[in-house]
Structure 1
Amino acid sequence: MSLDFRLDGLEPADEQSANTYDCSWVHGYQTISRHDVGERSYIVAFDPAVTWGIPNMPNLVSFDVVRDSRQATFSMHSFEHVTLAFAQNWLVNRGCPPDALAPIIDAPKPADELTVRTEDRIRHSGGRLEVVERQAIDWGDLEGWSIAVDRQDEDLPVRLFLETLQPDQHTYTLREGAFADHAAADAWLENRSAPLPEAPEYRLDAEALRTSAALSRTPSAAPSTTPAFSAPAAAIVAQPDRGRSL
């Protein structure tokens, strides 16, 4: 689906917006997902022109378009990506609802639940993950990746997000590996001599799921004949929450 910014009768509000809009005519972007609210549009698009340029360059673009009908102007910002979830994250950080950018085209689907969880982590990560290197899935390739720095992890801050296509099934997988530094991530990409080191966030999730499953299988205790002490509701509400969210 060709990209329509819906800018009839509007002029760019600044030079940067004008340049971004002019480039769109050269690239011929195709819409992947879109969310419109009022005079604002959040868009993820595919750039088919990249196929004819330098191999493995970013081929996804996020657009944030704001129209001002009273001034008859628009502003437009954009950013390039190689992974759909990072393209969505950029727009979420600019105010788009996290679940409003599902693809509207017949794109490959996540192959498993872990892919869904990994994408959800990226979409909801805010500014926690900073992409520092990337390689897109290009013509004839079945794999692309992004290397990001996790600003909240001091031990394993370098994260490798590896995306792999399964064209026969029209699906893909996305996995996150954790490394102590950039050199270790580069070495893994070069050698592939061991499985991708699992990020600690997923180990914690797996442990929580196993604990929940075990508790659900535990027989309930027989009801006591002695009435249990019941604290007043006001006292319960007044207690501070000592739980920990992950």
Structure 2
Amino acid sequence: MTTTDFYLDFQLDDLEPADDHAAEVYDRTWVDDFTLISRQDVGERSFIVAFDAAATWDIPNTANIVSFDVVRDSSQSRFSMHRAGHATVAFAQRWLVNRGCPPDALAPVIDVPTPADELTVRVEDRIRRSGTRLEVVDYQVIDGGDVEGWSIAVDRQDKELPVRLFLESVQPDQFTYTVREGAFADHAAAEDWLEKRSTPLPKAPEYRLDAEALRTSAALSRTTALPVAASTTANAPATPVNSPQTFGRSL
């Protein structure tokens, strides 16, 4: 990997915009402002996630994670281009997955913070694979020295707790981050929690069920292990547990 691989290059030499929309998107995208986070090329199509450094100087809370879908037609010497802004990499990846990018294809090409735990990996994977189930209605970007950002989305498949808060926290000293998903009855309740933080983040139903399953599994494991434990030395060292494999995120 060379330094130039981190720059945004749409590979549009000798190609013209296929329509007014492509021309507009291309004209308002200053490639020098972007750092490439991840890219997947499928034939003449490119799925790209990039960081927009210029967003800091734009309107406050401008989305600084941008996803691009670029389709080149060399036979016609034309290209089409679409872009969308997001507060987090996972939602930027979801936008590309919804447009045809393989869900596991967008590994970062730069050194980035990594998930701090397995739950973060699972929450981000849920976002990437959520299709049109989640509709983002509000967000707060992580910018400059910020260590927290969030996205509020409506879960179209949940009638009781449809408003979901995805809270992202960065640990700069460890070069890691966590993502948690909370569930609320309405937007006002989510905003109230963000303002007061007087209770733990309410767990989404999906993770409450998983927690119960884990507790049941642990109880069964202890029950099954009793005869073996009785025959082993009391002071025998515990078997180490391997850490889950994780993947990186953006700046």
Q: TM-score range by the shorter chain?
A: 0.7 to 0.9
1:133 aligns with 2:138: yes
Unaligned runs of 5+ in 2: 1-5, 226-251
TM-score by length of 2: 0.84
How much does 1:57 deviate?
2.0
Number of the residue aligned with 1:242: none
Question: Contact 1:27–1:48 at 8 Å: present in 2 too?
Answer: no
1:152 aligns with 2:157: yes
Unaligned runs of 5+ in 1: 221-246
Give the % identical residues: 74
* Residues 91-111 of structure 1 deviation map (CA, whole Å, 9 limit, x = unaligned): 000110000012111111111
Partner SS, residue 144 of structure 1: strand
Q: Give the 5 Å matches for 1:213-232.
A: 213-216=218-221, 219=224
1:100 aligns with 2:132: no
Partner SS, residue 173 of structure 1: strand
Distance in 2, matches of 1:25 and 1:137, equals 21
Give the residue type in structure 1 aligned to 2:185: A
Number of the residue aligned with 2:29: 24
CA shift in 2, pair 1:215/1:157, >3 Å: same
Q: Which has the higher contact order (CA 8 A, sep 6+)?
A: 2
Partner SS, residue 24 of structure 1: coil
Distance in 1, matches of 2:31 and 2:146, equals 24
Number of the residue aligned with 2:234: none
* Residues 47-89 of structure 1 deviation map (CA, whole Å, 9 limit, x = unaligned): 0001122333210111011111110100001110001100000
Give the residue type in structure 2 aligned to 1:152: Q
Give the residue type in structure 1 aligned to 2:193: W
Q: Give the 5 Å matches for 1:80-229.
A: 80-216=85-221, 219=224
Question: Contact 2:8–2:32 at 8 Å: present in 1 too?
Answer: no
How much does 1:211 deviate?
3.1
Distance in 1, matches of 2:164 and 2:186, equals 9
Distance in 2, matches of 1:210 and 1:195, equals 20
Partner SS, residue 7 of structure 1: coil
* Residues 191-233 of structure 1 deviation map (CA, whole Å, 9 limit, x = unaligned): 111111111101112222333444455549xxxxxxxxxxxxx
Give the residue type in structure 2 aligned to 1:156: L
TM-score by length of 1: 0.86
Q: Give the 5 Å matches for 1:23-102.
A: 23-25=28-30, 28-102=33-107
Partner SS, residue 30 of structure 2: helix
When Rg is computed on C-alpha atoms for both structures, the one with the higher figure is 1
Distance in 2, matches of 1:146 and 1:210, equals 29
How much does 1:136 deviate?
0.1
Give the residue type in structure 2 aligned to 1:174: V
Distance in 2, matches of 1:213 and 1:76, equals 50
Distance in 2, matches of 1:214 and 1:65, equals 51
Partner SS, residue 17 of structure 1: helix
Give the residue type in structure 2 aligned to 1:89: R
